[in-house]
């Protein structure tokens, strides 16, 4: 018997109305299901699951992706938020879900990033991200030295730096002036945040590159690192941050024939 995990953000799915409606539909179809509201709950239900359906915004999908990372479990997003670039369905399109249960869907593989912080020659911190890795200053501009495969890309002062996947190109990176990249592409996107020099521009790198951020010039200023907007790690002078394409991928379920371009135009208010 198929098992479907319903992963719900109760702040978005108010009263859990949408998720409860889907749960009722699944029960009528004889499909085993469970409702989770926390990543820890979700992680315990992965074994034997056929699919995870999220109810929330892109943040809910990011949390789900982290919880199921490495399992290969497909994720189907139902958008209950504002933008929802990663979500496949809107809240008024729940009728599509029967197709997913019957196996009539495709999978879109999304590239992820591995990030490591090296401090005094030792690995201090490791994580992964579906959207982006952000290095930011706190209240003051910071000095950043950026490298690709050990070769200097640029040195600049500014509010920080975003290293994103194509999936994350429509998030913080876009707001900071970065390019919009098709989400199923495989590139590493580098976007300076409010640089204090005119020539510090976004870069789109090949997926084989290893991006290094050198914090040797941090001095007495404060900075942090965050993956997919999760809890921040305080950075220290001399920290080396390495970001590269991960061996882990996120599998997103596709049910409709909507193009990425159509979704961007609609979500950004052009149409």
Q: 112-248: which CATH number, 3.30.70.270, 3.90.1720.10, 2.60.200.30, 3.40.640.10? A: 2.60.200.30
pLDDT of residue 190: 98
| Predicted pLDDT of residue 268 | 84
- In the chain, what percentage of residues exceed pLDDT 70? 99
Per-residue pLDDT band at 178 (split at 50, 70, 90): very high
Mean pLDDT value across residues 11-16:
93
**pLDDT of 51:** 97
Residue 266: what pLDDT? 85
Digit-coded pLDDT (tens) for 82-107:
778 899 999 899 999 999 988 999 99
Class assignment of domain 3-105+255-267? alpha beta
Structure-token pair, residue 58: 């892109």
| Catalytic residue check, 58 | yes
Asked whether residue 229 carries a pLDDT value surpassing 60, the answer given is yes
Average pLDDT, the chain: 94
pLDDT the model gives residue 84: 80
CA atoms lying within 13 Å on the CB side of residue 52: 34
3-state secondary structure of 99: helix
Q: What is the pLDDT of residues 141-165, one digit of tens each?
A: 999 999 999 999 999 999 999 999 9
Looking at the chain, the whole-number percentage of residues with pLDDT higher than 90 is 88
Q: Which position among 13, 58, 114, 143 bears the catalytic label?
A: 58
List the chain domain ranges.
3-105+255-267, 112-248
116-148: buried (b, 16+ CB within 10 Å) or exposed (e) per residue?
A: ebeeeeeeeeebbbbbbbbbbbeeebbbbbbbb
Which helix or strand (DSSP H or E) is residue 65 part of?
helix 58-68
Is residue 271 predicted with pLDDT exceeding 60?
no
- Nearest C-alpha neighbor of 182 from the set 90, 104, 262: 262
Residue 66 pLDDT class (50, 70, 90 cuts): very high
Mean pLDDT of 7-34: 94
Whether the domain at 3-105+255-267 and the domain at 112-248 fall into the same CATH topology: no
CB atoms within 10 A of CB 35: 16
* CB-based contact 99:255 (threshold 8 Å): yes
pTM: 0.93
Decide if pLDDT at 34 tops 70. Answer: yes
Torsion over CA of 136, 164, 66 and 10, rounded to 10 degrees?
Answer: 80
**Strand duo 75-79 + 51-56: pairing:** parallel
Q: Per mean pLDDT, which range of 11-25, 137-151, 153-167, 257-271 is the poorest?
A: 257-271
CB neighbour list of residue 205: distance below 8 Å, 6 or more residues apart: 148, 187, 188, 189, 190, 211
> What's the pLDDT score for residue 270?
55
- b/e map of 216-249 (b: 16 or more CB within 10 Å)? eebeebebebbbbbeeebebeeebbbbbbbbebb
């Amino acid at each position: 018997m198929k098992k479907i995990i319903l992963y719900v953000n109760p702040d978005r799915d108010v009263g859990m109305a949408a998720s409860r409606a889907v749960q009722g539909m699944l029960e009528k179809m004889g499909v085993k299901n469970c409702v989770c509201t926390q990543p820890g709950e979700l992680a315990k239900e992965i074994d034997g699951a056929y699919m995870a359906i999220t109810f929330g915004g892109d943040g809910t999908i990011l949390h789900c992706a982290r919880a199921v990372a490495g399992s290969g479990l497909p994720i189907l997003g139902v958008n209950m938020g504002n933008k929802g670039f990663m979500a496949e369905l809107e809240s008024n399109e729940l009728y599509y879900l029967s197709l997913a249960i019957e196996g009539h869907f495709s999978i879109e593989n999304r590239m992820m990033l591995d990030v490591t912080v090296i401090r005094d020659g030792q690995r201090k911190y490791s994580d992964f991200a579906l959207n982006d890795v952000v290095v930011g200053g706190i209240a003051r501009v910071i000095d950043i030295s950026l490298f690709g495969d050990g070769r200097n890309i640029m040195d600049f002062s500014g509010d920080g730096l975003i290293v994103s996947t194509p999936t994350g190109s429509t998030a913080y990176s876009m707001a900071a002036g970065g390019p919009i990249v098709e989400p199923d592409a495989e590139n590493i996107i580098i976007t300076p945040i409010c640089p204090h020099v005119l020539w510090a521009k976004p870069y789109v790198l090949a997926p084989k590159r290893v991006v290094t951020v050198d914090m040797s010039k941090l001095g007495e200023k404060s900075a942090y690192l965050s993956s997919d907007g999760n809890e921040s790690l305080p950075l220290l002078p001399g920290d080396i941050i390495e970001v590269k394409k991960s061996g882990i991928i996120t599998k997103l379920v596709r049910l409709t024939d909507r193009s990425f371009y159509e979704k961007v135009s609609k979500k950004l208010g052009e149409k």
